[in-house]
Amino acid sequence: MNQNKINKRRSMLYIPGNNPAMLQQAGVYGADSVLLDLEDAVALNQKDAARILVRNMLKSNDFYNCEISVRLNHIETPFGIHDLEEIIPLQPDAVRLPKTENVEELKKVFEIIEKIEDAHGLPHTKTKVHVMIESALGVQNVYELASFSPRIDAITIGGQDLTADMQIEKSKDNYGIDYARKRIVMASKATKIDAVDTVYVDVEDEEGLREETVYIKKLGFTGKAVINPRQINIVNEVFTPTESEIRKAYRIVKAYYENKAKDIGVFAVDGKMVDAPVVTRAIHTLTLADIDPETIK
């Protein structure tokens, strides 16, 4: 299993948990994160087979440098508890909790997770939790959900279920979930965790995917789920800084370290004032470009 520190989460590739060939190849497509799905991608009569397969793949398959997360079935379904029992002991990088609506659910799941971890002598810190918002109630409660535990390090939106819950058509422009997106992003910013957007379902429409990804990046999302490996390059490209952005960030961080040594907090780069938030943004840009800011010192 991947032990590398995850520092970016641009593309999250859904892989059906009941497809051995796809699971085996999940790590080779260039996604930052793979999302092994035990929930909606798996038919009811294959839930146990998928759970066993994903469990065994977590033990044996090389997912290379991808973050590995597993989407579990909801705790109130007949499958949720079994998913936790099989998956948590293997300590994937994260588990994704679908259709989360209120803090009580989270309390219940966290208690079970910690109990399983205790039973196996595992820490409570290794496996992160991603909360998935797929209902109007979840959208309304999103800040409370996002801030429930420091173990939650990403909040995500599921467009299909959310529009169904809102009783609206899921249009191509996703106008109906615009408010939800913005509210989720704001909660993620307030809690300083990632916000990951919903999938773009038309895999043939590359331009549409690019436009939507550009848009949600502007909103503040840090990544996007994808349902086909063909979508990864586009999402990664949009979320990867351009060369001029990287150069600018490099100059800012370099100047920051130089001025810090002289105890100067506010300074100018390219004639513009630089303060702490600008430096934070520049460091994030370099991280997205695979440049360790520490090496600039």
Partner 1 sequence: MARNALNIEIPEKLDGLGALEPYQGVWTKLQKGWMSEQTVPPAIKARMPHTSKMCDSLEEAILKCNPQDGMTVSFHHHLRSGDDILVQAMTILANMGIKDIILASSSLTSAHEPILPFIEQGIISQIYSSGIRGAIGEACARGIMKKPFVIHSHGGRVRSVQTGKIKIDLAIIAASAADEEGNATGSHGPSAFGSIGYAMIDAWYAKQVVVVTDNLVDYPCVPPSIRQNYVDYVVEVDSIGDAKKIASGTTRITKAPLDLRIAKLASEAIIHSGLFKNGISFQVGAGGASLAVAKFVREAMKKHEIVGSFLLGGVTSYGVNMLNEGLFRAIFDVQSFDAAVSQSIMNNPYHIEIGAALYANPFNCGCMINKLDIVVLGALEVDVNFNVNVITGSEGDVRGASGGHSDTAAGANLTIVVCPSFRGRLPIIKKKVNNVVTPGDSVDIVVTERGICVNPKNIELEQKLKKAGLNIKKIQDLEIEVDKITGQPDPIEHTDKVVGVIEYRDGTIIDTIKQIKE
Residue 263, classed as helix, strand or coil, is coil
* Contact flag: residue 202 with partner 1 (CB under 8 A): no
- Select from 30, 176, 208, 220 the one that contacts partner 1 (CB under 8 A): 30
Longest dimension (CA), the chain: 66
CB atoms within 10 A of CB 276: 10
Give me Rg for the CA atoms of the chain: 20
- Shorter beta-carbon distance to partner 1: residue 99 or 224: 224
- Shorter beta-carbon distance to partner 1: residue 118 or 292: 292
- Select from 29, 200, 221, 239 the one that contacts partner 1 (CB under 8 A): 29
Nearest approach, Cβ of residue 58 and partner 1 (Å): 16
Nearest approach, Cβ of residue 233 and partner 1 (Å): 6
Nearest approach, Cβ of residue 179 and partner 1 (Å): 34
Site string for partner 1, 158-197 (x = CB under 8 A): ----------------------------------------
- Shorter beta-carbon distance to partner 1: residue 29 or 79: 29
- Select from 2, 20, 25, 210 the one that contacts partner 1 (CB under 8 A): 25
117 half-sphere exposure, CB direction, 13 A CA radius: 16
- Select from 7, 43, 52, 62 the one that contacts partner 1 (CB under 8 A): 62
* Contact flag: residue 28 with partner 1 (CB under 8 A): yes
- Distance separating alpha carbons of residues 169 and 266, to the nearest angstrom: 49
Nearest approach, Cβ of residue 218 and partner 1 (Å): 22
CB atoms within 10 A of CB 64: 14
- Shorter beta-carbon distance to partner 1: residue 24 or 149: 24
Residue 62, classed as helix, strand or coil, is coil
* Backbone phi and psi for residue 64, each to the nearest 5 degrees, phi listed first: 55, -130
Q: Which of residues 64-93 bind partner 1 (CB under 8 A)?
A: 64
- In 3D space, the residue among 49, 40, 62 whose CA is nearest the CA of residue 19 turns out to be 49
- Which part of the chain contacts partner 1 (CB under 8 A), choosing from 3-11, 21-29, 71-79, 106-114? 21-29
- Which part of the chain contacts partner 1 (CB under 8 A), choosing from 28-36, 171-179, 247-255, 269-277? 28-36
- In 3D space, the residue among 58, 141, 128 whose CA is nearest the CA of residue 97 turns out to be 128
- Select from 290, 292, 294, 297 the one that contacts partner 1 (CB under 8 A): 290
Q: Which of residues 204-263 bind partner 1 (CB under 8 A)?
A: 228-230, 233
- Distance separating alpha carbons of residues 260 and 275, to the nearest angstrom: 11
CA-angle at 30, arms to 187 and 252, nearest 5°? 60
Q: Which helix (H) or strand (E) holds 14?
A: strand 11-16
In Å, how far are 67, 72, 156, 270 from 255, measured between CA atoms? Answer: 32, 45, 35, 11
- Shorter beta-carbon distance to partner 1: residue 25 or 259: 25
Query: What residues contact residue 252 under an 8 Å CB cut-off, 6+ apart?
Result: 269, 274, 278, 279, 282
Contact positions vs partner 1 (CB under 8 A): 24-25, 28-30, 62, 64, 228-230, 233, 290
